[in-house]
Amino acid sequence: MKNFYDITIIGSGLTGLTTALNLAKAGKSVAIIEKDAYTGGQIQTYTENGFTYETGPNTAVISNYEVIDLFNQLPTCEVEIAKESAKKRLIFKNGSLYPLPSGLVSAITTPLFSLKDKINVLFEPIRDKGTNPDESVAGIAARRLGQSFVDYAVDPFISGIYAGDPTKLVTRYALPKLYNLEQTYGSFIKGAIGKARLPKTEQDKLVSKKVFSAKNGLSQLTDAIVTELKTRYSKTVTFYLNAQDATITPLNQNQWETSFIQNGVRTTVESEFIIPTTGGYTYISLMPFISKERLKPISDLIYAGVIQVSVGIRNGATYSVNAFGSLMPGKEKRNVLGILYPSDCFENRAGVDDLLLSVFMGGTKNPLLFNKNDQEIENLVRKELFDIMNIPQSIHFDLFKITRHEKAIPQYLADSKERFELIGQLEAEYPGLIIGGNIHQGIGMPDRIKQAYLISKRIIASKEV
Ligand SMILES: Cc1cc2nc3c(=O)[nH]c(=O)nc-3n(C[C@H](O)[C@H](O)[C@H](O)COP(=O)(O)OP(=O)(O)OC[C@H]3O[C@@H](n4cnc5c(N)ncnc54)[C@H](O)[C@@H]3O)c2cc1C
Domain ranges, ordered by start, for the chain: 2-40+218-301+412-462, 113-199, 303-410
Does 308 have pLDDT greater than 60? yes
282 touches ligand 1 (CB under 6 Å): yes
Q: Dihedral, CA atoms, 411, 417, 421, 422, nearest 10 degrees?
A: -50
**158 Cα to the center of ligand 1, angstroms:** 18
Computed over every residue of the chain, the mean pLDDT equals 96
Pocket flag, ligand 1, residue 120 (CB < 6 Å): no
Helices (H), 122-154: 137-144, 147-149
Q: Give the residue-averaged pLDDT of 385-406.
A: 98
In this model, does residue 48 exceed pLDDT 80? yes
Query: What is the CATH architecture of 303-410?
Result: Alpha-Beta Complex (3.90)
Q: Going edge to edge, which strands form the sheet with 244-250?
A: 237-240, 30-33, 2-10, 265-276, 256-262, 244-250
Task: Return the percentage of the chain with pLDDT > 90, whole number.
Answer: 94
In CATH, 2-40+218-301+412-462 is 3.50.50.60: yes
In the reported structure, the alpha carbon of residue 289 is separated from the centroid of ligand 1 by a whole-number distance in angstroms of: 25
448 lines ligand 1 (CB under 6 A): yes
**Architecture, CATH, for domain 113-199:** Orthogonal Bundle (1.10)
How far does the centroid of ligand 1 lie from the alpha carbon of residue 279, in Å? 8
Task: Identify the pLDDT of residue 447.
Answer: 98
Write the DSSP assignment of 312-340 as a string of letters.
EETT-GGG---SSEEE--GGG--S-SEEE
Residue whose Cα lies nearest atom 29 of ligand 1: it is 41
Residue-wise pLDDT for 74-133, tens only, equals 999 999 999 998 889 999 999 999 999 988 788 889 999 999 999 999 999 999 999 999
Q: Is the pLDDT of residue 386 over 70?
A: yes
- How much distance in Å is there from the Cα of 437 to the middle of ligand 1? 8
Residues 228-242 have a mean pLDDT of: 97
As a whole number, mean pLDDT of residues 389-409 equals: 98
| Per-residue pLDDT at 465 exceeds 60 | no
Q: Whose CA is nearest to atom 25 of ligand 1?
A: 13
Q: Mention every residue, 6+ apart, whose C-beta is less than 8 A from residue 231.
A: none
* pLDDT of amino acid 86: 84
C-alpha of residue 81 to centroid of ligand 1, in Å: 22
- pTM for the predicted model, two decimal places: 0.97
**Predicted local distance difference test score (pLDDT) of residue 2:** 60
**Position 291 pLDDT exceeds 70:** yes
Q: What is the pLDDT of residues 160-190, one digit of tens each?
A: 999 999 999 999 999 999 999 999 999 999 9
Q: Counting every residue, how long is the chain? A: 465
Give the pLDDT of residue 103. Answer: 80
445 Cβ closer than 6 Å to some ligand 1 atom = yes
Express as a percent the part of the chain with pLDDT over 70: 99
**If you take atom 8 of ligand 1, which residue's CA is the nearest one?**
57
Residue 305 makes CB contacts below 8 A (sequence gap 6+) with 163, 362, 363, 367, 370, 404, 405, 406, 407, 408
| Interval between CA 422 and ligand 1 midpoint (Å) | 22
> 54, 209, 278: which to mutate for ligand 1, most atoms within 8 A of CB?
278
Residues 6+ apart with CB under 8 A from 204: 65
pLDDT (0 to 100) of residue 115: 96
